[in-house]
Structure 1
Amino acid sequence: MSQETDRTAVANAGESKRGTFRLAAYAVCIEDGRVLLALAASNCWTLPGGRVEHAEDPFDAVIRELAEETGCDAVVERLLGVDSRVIPAAEAHAGVEHQNLGIFYQVRVTGGQLRPEPNGDTIESVWTPIPEVIRLRRSSLVDVGLALAQTLPATGHVPPVPVVGLIQH
């Protein structure tokens, strides 16, 4: 596809192939036993990050997204890993199968001040003690990011996170 969008993909034969695809970059910011989380308008906690724009390097996208959503400046310290998840149509928000390819970076905040995202979906960002994360209604991306940061798997891959209880897609 020539554009990075969340639209229905079209197969080479001109036949519609139902599904959407998203390339995203996420910041895993851990400091003093706390992780930086963003509260989306959907009332679900997630990692700062989001869509990589067309022709944008994911390395740059994660810093841009973090600044937009939290008001913080940061530097990337290392690549943690890549997560590819397919959300079945029955569970996807748009009602069609969705694949999210997430690139996770360990990021260190260097400045700025936490604030809501102006004209955006992030209504609050907070430093949360890691043991308290389990009690939050959160995106499965939070669990993937923490698992990558805590285990640093050589392959950059962790097993899929089950989406149950307080964990959402």
Structure 2
Amino acid sequence: MSFRLAAYAVCVEDGRVLIARHVSADGQSTWTLPGGGVEHGEDPFDAVIREVAEETGCTAVVESLLGVDSRVISAAEARHGTEHQNVGVFYRVRITGGRLRPEPDGVIAESVWTPLPEVASLLRSSLVDVGLALARTAPATGHVAPVQVGGLVRH
């Protein structure tokens, strides 16, 4: 089984959420939250700030820890054909500067502010739904029910 620790930014302002369009090697686009893998020895708190800057061109500050999500993706569904566990640490962040731009030499083609009601109609990573549920409900446990994958929601 492969394993990944990642940190994700949930930035909601004026009824909009900041999301990023990830383009895979085969050219498929999926909307996701800014964020990504925590490097060896890196604190997830620092990783989310770094990832926002790399992927969006903006600077961010962490306002709060929202929660943690752990999911196991079966070998049949995983990109590389082996069972995979992703542990995501979700933070509420606020953008403090910079300008939205594509990720240089990366997989994020664009980042945009999207009205919350429009998110449901987008082909998106389940991480978007998890992050928004954590931001909306602020559970004391930092945990929300797993998001159903299917239709417009992907791993």
Equivalent residue, structure 2, for 1:33: 15
> What's the RMSD between the two structures over aligned residues?
0.4
TM-score by length of 2: 0.97
Equivalent residue, structure 2, for 1:127: 113
1:94-142 CA distance string (max 9 Å, x none): 1110000000000000000000000000000000000000000000000
Give the Cα separation in 2 of the matches to 1:74 and 1:53: 19
The letter for the 2-side match of 1:95 is G
Pick from 141, 144, 147 the counterpart of residue 133 of structure 2: 147
SS at match of 2:48: helix
Identity %: 75
Instruction: Give the 4+ runs in structure 1 shifted more than 6 A.
Output: none
- Does structure 1 residue 87 correspond to structure 2 residue 69? no
User: Structure 1: where are the runs of 5+ without partners?
Assistant: 1-18
- In the TM superposition, what is the alpha-carbon distance from 1:149 to its structure 2 partner? 0.1
User: Structure 2: where are the runs of 5+ without partners?
Assistant: none
Give the Cα separation in 2 of the matches to 1:29 and 1:145: 9
Bigger Rg over Cα: 1
Equivalent residue, structure 1, for 2:39: 53
Give the Cα separation in 2 of the matches to 1:122 and 1:91: 22
TM-score by length of 1: 0.89
- In the TM superposition, what is the alpha-carbon distance from 1:36 to its structure 2 partner? 0.2
